[in-house]
Amino acid sequence: MSPADLGGRSAYELLGVSFDADTAVLKAAWRRAARRTHPDYGGDAAEFRLVSQAWELVGDPEARRDYDRGFSPASAQGSGTGAPTGGPASGPSSTTRPGRPRAGQGAGSGTITYVPPLDDEMVLDLARSSQQIHGAPRKRGILPAGHRLVREARAIRTVQTHVLGSLPASRLVNGLHLTFGRLNSGAIDHVLLCGDRLAVIGSLQVPDGVYRWDGAELWKGDRRLSPPSLAPAMVALQRAFPDCTVGGFVLVLGPEDNPHAPVIQLDRTRSVLDSDAGFLTDPPANPLQFGRDLKMFLGTGSRAATVDRRLLARLLGAMY
């Protein structure tokens, strides 16, 4: 992400710190900036989104190193370190905040309800309760993971583009590992929380072309591609969150950022009883259809406009 993506300012300028600020100073500045700009406290929603994006870029040490490598220290220091702009904090906190309905929004547009209220920071702090994307693709183990990290980053952008704007109460958590009794979820790339529904998201990248889904696997001619298994993650999450409805979705990405590609034809000729594909809520899909499927699953829940901060805090605690 370039400075232009943050309104022409660096992440450090938005947070009001110098480029070489240590972790404690950075976190304190983030808390101040989040409270100053949050709409529930009289701030500007657009500025709050920029502050949240800035924290995503530099709040995690690994993400900060990646950001610093692509952003010149000289330009960061020369851009100034003034505090972010925003309206003054005023008024008491509340359980809801106004949303900005957009054309084509489904359930969850309008007002977001926070349970418990935002003024209860013992559950989760204000900034993390309000931001929609948590975490980033991370290296696992000692093996090279460049291709996987790029794919996961593309999956995050797809969810951001096709889902989050329509469901303001949704929260995307990236990079989890959950154990529940003897159950081990393994590494979970992405979980999307909306009300009392949890969507487990896996992805794969394939060459461009036309594919056939037989109910268990993807085929391109006589070439077979198996989707990632989401069964362990879905079972572990369902056991750990028994009051939630858990769904499984696989995003299929082509080589280019074309939301309509690849083309996937449905030809369910194979039984899924002996396959982990039977756990999927919908067939694997390209970005456009994937977004529609996710919005249908999450947006039709009875609490689609609610951010359950206790559930979110538990998910964040499972990040590795």
State residue 24's pLDDT score: 84
Q: Which residues pair with 265 in a beta bridge?
A: 212
| Average pLDDT of the residues of the chain | 83
Give the CATH number for residue 71. 1.10.287.110
Tokens of 194: 């909306």
Q: For the residues 1-6, what does the mean pLDDT come to?
A: 54
State residue 39's pLDDT score: 81
Q: Would 153 be classed as within a structural domain?
A: yes
pLDDT tens-digit profile of 145-171?
A: 778 999 999 999 999 999 999 999 999
Last residue of a domain, one of 91, 123, 150: 91
pTM: 0.70
Residue ranges making up the domain that contains 272: 133-317
Last residue of a domain, one of 35, 59, 91: 91
Query: How many Å apart are CA 296 and CA 299, to the nearest integer?
Result: 5
Angle, helix 23-37 to helix 45-58, in steps of 10 degrees = 160
Last residue of a domain, one of 91, 121, 153: 91
Q: What is the distance, to the nearest Å, from the Cα of residue 68 to the centroid of all Cα atoms in its chain? A: 22
Residue 212 has pLDDT above 70, yes or no: yes
State residue 5's pLDDT score: 62
Q: What is the tally of structural domains in the chain? A: 2
Q: Would 107 be classed as within a structural domain?
A: no
State residue 10's pLDDT score: 81
Instruction: Answer yes or no: do 71 and 214 share one domain.
Output: no
Q: For the residues 254-260, what does the mean pLDDT come to?
A: 94
Query: How many Å apart are CA 239 and CA 8, to the nearest integer?
Result: 45
- For residue 121, what pLDDT band results from cuts at 50, 70 and 90? confident
Q: Say what percent of the chain tops pLDDT 90.
A: 52
Give the CATH number for residue 269. 3.40.1350
Q: Which residues pair with 188 in a beta bridge?
A: 176
Residue 63 has pLDDT above 90, yes or no: no
Q: Would 204 be classed as within a structural domain?
A: yes
Instruction: Answer yes or no: do 83 and 19 share one domain.
Output: yes
Q: Would 102 be classed as within a structural domain?
A: no
Instruction: Answer yes or no: do 233 and 303 share one domain.
Output: yes
Instruction: Answer yes or no: do 159 and 258 share one domain.
Output: yes
Instruction: Answer yes or no: do 75 and 156 share one domain.
Output: no
Residue 246 has pLDDT above 70, yes or no: yes
Q: Would 122 be classed as within a structural domain?
A: no
Q: Would 46 be classed as within a structural domain?
A: yes
Q: Would 119 be classed as within a structural domain?
A: no
The secondary structure of the chain as a DSSP string is --GGGGTT--HHHHHT--TT--HHHHHHHHHHHHHHH-GGGT--HHHHHHHHHHHHHHSSHHHHHHHHHHS-HHHHHHT--PPPP-PPP-S---SEE-----TT--TT-S-EEEES-TT-TTTS-HHHHH-SEE------SSS--HHHHHHHHHHHHHHIIIIITT-TT-EEEEEEEEEETTEEEEEEEEEEEETTEEEEEEEEE--SSEEEE-SS-EEETTEEEPPPP-HHHHHHHHHH-TTSEEEEEEEEE-SS--TT-SEEEE---S--TTSGGGG-SS--B-HHHHHHHHHHHHHTSTTTTEEEHHHHHHHHHTB-
Instruction: Answer yes or no: do 212 and 140 share one domain.
Output: yes
Looking up tokens 């805090």 gives 313
pLDDT tens-digit profile of 181-207?
A: 777 889 999 999 999 999 999 999 999
Instruction: Answer yes or no: do 82 and 7 share one domain.
Output: yes
CA dist 83 to 11, 249, 318, Å? 11, 41, 32
